[in-house]
Amino acid sequence: MTENFLPPQQRATWQALEAHAQRLTSLSLREAFASDPGRFRSLSRKHGDLLADFSKQRLDTAALEALLALAEQSELKRGICALFAAAQVNFTEGRPALHMALRGSCPPPAGAILDDGPVRRFAAALRAGEIRGTTGKPITRVINLGIGGSDLGPRMVFEALREPGPPVEVEFVANIDPRELDEALARAEPDSTLFVISSKSFSTAETLANACAARAWLAAALGEEKGLSAHFAAVSNATTAAAAFGVAQERVFALPEWVGGRYSVWSAIGLPLLVAIGEARFDALLAGARAMDEHFRDAPFADNLPVLMGLIGLWNTDFLGMETLAVLPYAHGLRNFAAWLQQLEMESNGKRALRDGSTSAVSTSPVVWGGVGTVGQHAFHQLFYQGTRHIPMDFIVPVGEDEPRQRALIDNAFAQSAALMNGRDLAGARAALEAKGLPAAEVDRLAPHLVSPGNQPSTTLLLPCLDAFHLGALLALYEHKVFVQGWIWGINSFDQYGVELGKEMARALAQGAGGAQDGSTAALLQAAEALRRTG
């Protein structure tokens, strides 16, 4: 993947885009709509019944054409073909990234056999009440122990698709902070609880610590001599280590090495989802993602939603100098979508080393953050209206049923994107105050505080509903957007060497082998020990 590599800023199309950015520095979106009644039509795209409206982004058709030319010069089509053909797009670790094979969009690597029958049969048996604990009681609660990709994706999808009254209660525990597991155990009965240890390496410190605590809890209640394997299952690539922990061999479900953690929700990592939502809806999730895969692979770049999302995000980051992306889903079920996307984007593209080993001269991943509307409107949207930063936003809006509260939710989403684009100038602020009958002196005093500059850029993604199919398409859309940006930047979106540094330091501190510490860390260790003794 390093042959004939040219760093992005050295490409002619990159330099052309810099000229477009200078041209559009003072672009007023409100004036752009006033002068071009067809702006929405020319800057929005559909795939199936998913609509992406890019018309509130700070670009025009000429800049968009230049972005498409950048994709061509960056040989993005070659990258997409390599991704689907099991080439080693993960070039540092020398392996493919074939999470799409899990949803049937491309074949697995040569010699790999995909058989999800065992995990599906186990999940179905759990839902049917056929899996029993060591005392003979049916398992009625599953607690997933995992972190990162073994938690964020399954947890987010579970929250989006959960329904009341499931046959088996499902919970997720990620934090090594004892409180999260303690709270889950307080709702559980030992003889009817099963723990799923989700760890690709079966060496993740947080997950193993929680697994050991869960085993101690079971032993205290049920007795070690009874054997606790009936209360454990595991999803891991390290099947031997899982068996050594005490998980029965037939309950260790393999996670292929070529599936990255943050892309693993489609794999056996989805075991708790299969339990919670059932096989039919899990298949619909896969089908929605597969439909987006095919669109990404086949659609011309000018109509390709992941390509356009990636290019416009890159435009905001590298050419307009915007350092964050606010993700605003108007759906309670997507309350953890931003957390899932933080890992997907920032762990994938939070890199600086290029394919040839040089250091990137341009910005890579933005800081991703956000929260659900309308809750966020009463928390952090003030910054959007009157703060000092321009912040790109993704509004994710499932239309849903024709019901008064749902209609109000959608109205709020559309009103936010419009108000943040249009803003309110000083004359508008004065008029609003005068309409309230305030005296002239009070109008003069308050008017500056009501001004909102507007011109905040946003994309709106409109879905008919938040069901399994459309959620799968949405997740795959963002997965491919991340690949587009990583390919153009020239970084590897599929490794995560950086996070290992902190893990190494934590292990060294735990073993008392941290070596010479900086003054702050050494003092903090001493202060913490003093608090333990006196607390």
Contact indicator for 315, 484 with CB cutoff of 8 Å? no
Can you tell me the mean pLDDT for 120-148?
96
- Residue type at 260 in one-letter notation: G
Query: Which helix (H) or strand (E) is 368 found in, with range?
Result: strand 367-370
Residue 458 pairs in a beta bridge with 393
347 is catalytic: yes
Q: What is the C-alpha to C-alpha distance for residues 158 and 54, in angstroms, rounded to an integer?
A: 29
Residue 52 pairs in a beta bridge with 45, 461
Banded model confidence at residue 377, pLDDT cuts 50, 70, 90: very high
Q: What is the C-alpha to C-alpha distance for residues 307 and 71, in angstroms, rounded to an integer?
A: 8
Tell me the longest C-alpha to C-alpha distance in the chain: 83
- In the chain, what are the domain boundaries? 45-91+285-414+457-494, 116-277, 423-455
503 is catalytic: yes
pLDDT digits (tens, 9 = 90+) for 385-418: 999 999 999 999 999 999 999 999 999 999 999 9
Active-site residue, selected from the candidate residues 442, 503, 504, 529: 503
226 is catalytic: no
Do domains 45-91+285-414+457-494 and 116-277 share one topology? The answer is: yes
Can you tell me the mean pLDDT for 139-145?
98
pLDDT digits (tens, 9 = 90+) for 494-525: 999 998 888 888 888 887 765 678 889 888 88
Residue 252 has pLDDT above 80, yes or no: yes
Active-site residue, selected from the candidate residues 378, 401, 403, 449: 378
pLDDT digits (tens, 9 = 90+) for 101-116: 999 998 887 777 778 9
pLDDT digits (tens, 9 = 90+) for 482-502: 999 999 999 999 999 998 888
Share the mean pLDDT of the chain.
Answer: 94
Residue 289 has pLDDT above 70, yes or no: yes
Percent of the chain clearing pLDDT 70 (strictly above): 98
Query: Which helix (H) or strand (E) is 194 found in, with range?
Result: strand 193-198
Banded model confidence at residue 225, pLDDT cuts 50, 70, 90: low
145 CB burial (10 A radius; 0-12, 13-18, 19+): buried
Out of 199-203, 240-244, 255-259, which region has the weakest mean confidence (pLDDT)?
Answer: 255-259
453 CB burial (10 A radius; 0-12, 13-18, 19+): middle
Active-site residue, selected from the candidate residues 171, 347, 479, 480: 347
pLDDT digits (tens, 9 = 90+) for 78-88: 999 999 999 99
pLDDT score for 136: 94
Cβ neighbors of 147 (< 8 A, separation 6 or more) are 174, 175, 204, 206, 207
pTM: predicted TM-score of the whole model, two decimal places: 0.95
User: Up-side HSE of residue 79: CA atoms within 13 Å toward CB?
Assistant: 28
pLDDT score for 202: 93
pLDDT score for 506: 85
Q: What is the C-alpha to C-alpha distance for residues 344 and 327, in angstroms, rounded to an integer?
A: 13
Q: What is the C-alpha to C-alpha distance for residues 176 and 209, in angstroms, rounded to an integer?
A: 7
Can you tell me the mean pLDDT for 349-372?
96
45-91+285-414+457-494: in CATH 3.90.550.10: no
Q: Which of the listed CATH numbers 1.10.3720.10, 3.40.1190.20, 3.40.50.10490, 3.30.420.10 matches domain 116-277?
A: 3.40.50.10490
Q: For tokens 């952090």, name the residue.
A: 380
pLDDT score for 49: 96
Residue 535 has pLDDT above 80, yes or no: no
pLDDT score for 308: 98
